[in-house]
Amino acid sequence: MSDAKVCVVVGVGPGLGEALARTFAREGWRVAVMARSVDKVRALADDIGGLAVPCDATDNDAIRQAFATVREQLGPVHTLLWNVGSGVFGDLDKVDVAGMELAWRTNALGLFVAAKEVVGDMRAAGEGNLVVTGATASRRGKPFTTAFAAGKAAQRSLCQSLARQLWPEGIHVALVVVDGGIRPADTDRPPETMLAPADIATTALHLARQPRSAWTFELEVRPHVESW
């Protein structure tokens, strides 16, 4: 184990998760990237000198196991970036119980389980970060977000509870409300009309570095041309 602080990114795909991992690695964290399929993140992990760990965020035991692996291989967790989110969309008629459960587990329950896993490390260190990727849906439910918004609302509420409990212990819980589409690698839409993953990551990094006298709990990020 090195002396570097350990950052775990849960929910890593080619978009925001990768950008978060690269940004925190570049700034000195030792980064573990978690994804359901570890094959898809191994190249990234190698590239940033990090660790790829399989993790199904809907499976509580799998989450616990994944964090045990991180602690064993890299040491205590300093920063947790929860970037998991379900993509179940549809109204009451279209969504089923499984869709509701998926939204709940990936957004809220899994985060709860992961928070339990890392809070001991952070308390021992007297510091830490827990930055969560939220969504505008957390602030209001629409017909097509019957499942997704419910999960995101539960997530936002959970983050508020965690922040109010853990901030005084030096653990910075924060919520980045993503409002708009995240730019995929292969689009030809004009720049600045979609959220660039690296730009979101820069703001997440700012949160992780705020001094304790002036912490932010919640902020939103959106393209300057977005309608809101």
Q: How far is the CB of 51 from a second copy (least distance, A)?
A: 25
Among 37, 73, 161, 187, binds a second copy (CB under 8 A): 161
Which CB, 53 or 95, lies closer to a second copy? Answer: 95
How would you classify the pairing of strands 128-135 and 171-178?
Answer: parallel
Closest approach of Cβ 49 to a second copy, in Å? Answer: 26
Q: Does 9 bind a second copy (CB under 8 A)?
A: no
DSSP 185-214: TT--SPTTSSB-HHHHHHHHHHHHH--TTS
Site for a second copy in 57-96 (CB under 8 A): 60, 91-93, 95
Given a contact cutoff of 8 angstroms between Cβ atoms, the answer to whether 176 and 204 are in contact is yes
Please report how close the Cβ of residue 159 comes to a second copy at its closest, in angstroms.
7
Of 29-37, 40-48, 67-75, 154-162, which part binds a second copy (CB under 8 A)?
Answer: 154-162
Among 72, 126, 168, 186, binds a second copy (CB under 8 A): 168
Interacting positions 102-121 with a second copy (CB under 8 A): 104, 108-109, 112-113, 115-116, 119
- Which of 14, 75, 76, 141 contacts a second copy by CB under 8 A? 141
Distance of CA 202 to the CA centre of its chain: 14
User: Which of 135, 40, 31, 122 lies closest to 81, judged by CA?
Assistant: 31
By CB under 8 A, which span of 2-10, 30-38, 72-80, 210-218 interacts with a second copy? 210-218
Comparison of 50 and 82: residue with beta carbon closer to a second copy = 82
Confirm if 194 and 178 have CB atoms less than 8 A apart.
Answer: no
- Specify the 3-state DSSP secondary structure of 151: helix
Residues in 171-190 at the binding interface with a second copy, rule: CB under 8 A: 172, 183
Q: Round to whole Å and give the CA distance between 170 and 147.
A: 33
Cα torsion 118, 119, 120, 126 to 10°: value is 120
Backbone angles phi, psi at 32, to 5 degrees: -105, 130
Report if residue 152 touches a second copy, rule: CB under 8 A.
yes
Please select the residue that binds a second copy; options are 143, 186, 187, 188, rule is CB under 8 A. 143
